[in-house]
């Protein structure tokens, strides 16, 4: 039986390693995070476009090392001292450090503390540090010297796998060929995949109808 459209079922966000689909677009980044020799000075940058899977990959790394994930915009010196004491930290959306003087100072403090204590510090960002417009020269030079690994835009296999996962997270049953029909017709972005599945879920729920290829085509057109 299909999903009962009268109920707005909770979304299950599967974020474990077993839910991460390894493809050419992300295999190098995954291998780098798993390899101790790539962590020069205990730091690494994970760079990729919005929706590329950085959050999922960082969450895997954080869970396996009992690390805390922290938003770059919320960094303060007090937070930096607390985070450094944990031994492993993920600073997310680090491109927002640029133009935030307090956060830049705190990030510089955190980099030094992690290095002194032999911890690990992972930054995620949608572009390299040279584009962050940082005002603190010492922080800029340290981050530009940090090992960076990149996640590329998704290929067909990855995009299809993510669509399937997103439908499963929302407990949606779709026609068997729908994913392969959508992949060549949509923008090659995991962010678009999320928006598409969310929009299909909302429409199917509102109309109390199953998801069909016709509905998917109309929703896809509305997102362009």
Alpha helix ranges (H) inside the chain:
27-34, 54-65, 77-84, 101-117, 137-144, 156-169, 178-182, 190-207, 213-223
Closest listed residue to residue 221, CA positions, set 203, 205, 208, 206: 203
The answer, yes or no, to whether residue 204 has pLDDT greater than 50, is yes
| Residues above pLDDT 90, as percent of the chain | 63
pLDDT of residue 4: 33
Residue 59 has pLDDT above 70, yes or no: yes
Q: What residue ranges do the domains of the chain occupy?
A: 27-150, 155-223
The model carries a pTM of 0.76
Q: Which CATH architecture is the domain 27-150 placed in?
A: 3-Layer(aba) Sandwich (3.40)
**Which CATH number is associated with domain 155-223?**
1.10.8
Mean pLDDT of 213-219: 96
pLDDT at 9 over 90: no
Sheet with strand 120-125: strands edge to edge: 68-71, 88-92, 120-125, 43-47, 148-150
């Amino acid at each position: 039986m299909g999903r009962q459209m009268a109920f707005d079922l909770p979304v299950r966000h599967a974020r474990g390693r077993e839910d991460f689909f390894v493809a050419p677009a992300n295999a190098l980044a995954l291998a780098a995070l798993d390899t101790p020799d790539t962590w020069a000075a205990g730091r690494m940058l994970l760079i990729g476009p919005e929706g590329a899977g950085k959050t999922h990959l960082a969450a895997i790394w954080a869970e396996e090392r009992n690390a805390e994930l922290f938003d770059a915009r919320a960094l303060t010196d007090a937070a930096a001292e607390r985070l450094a004491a944990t031994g492993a930290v993920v600073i997310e959306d680090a491109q927002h450090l640029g133009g935030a003087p307090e956060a830049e100072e705190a990030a510089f403090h955190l980099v030094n503390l992690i290095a002194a204590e032999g911890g690990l510090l992972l930054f995620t960002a949608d572009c390299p540090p040279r584009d962050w417009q940082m005002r603190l020269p010492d922080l800029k030079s340290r981050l530009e010297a940090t090992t960076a690994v990149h996640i590329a835009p998704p290929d067909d296999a990855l995009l299809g796998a993510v669509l399937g996962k997103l439908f499963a997270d929302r407990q949606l049953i779709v026609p068997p060929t729908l994913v392969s029909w959508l992949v060549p017709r949509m923008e090659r972005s995991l962010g678009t995949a999320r928006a598409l599945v969310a929009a299909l879920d909302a429409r199917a729920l509102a109309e109390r109808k199953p998801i069909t290829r016709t509905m998917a085509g109309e929703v896809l057109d509305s997102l362009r």
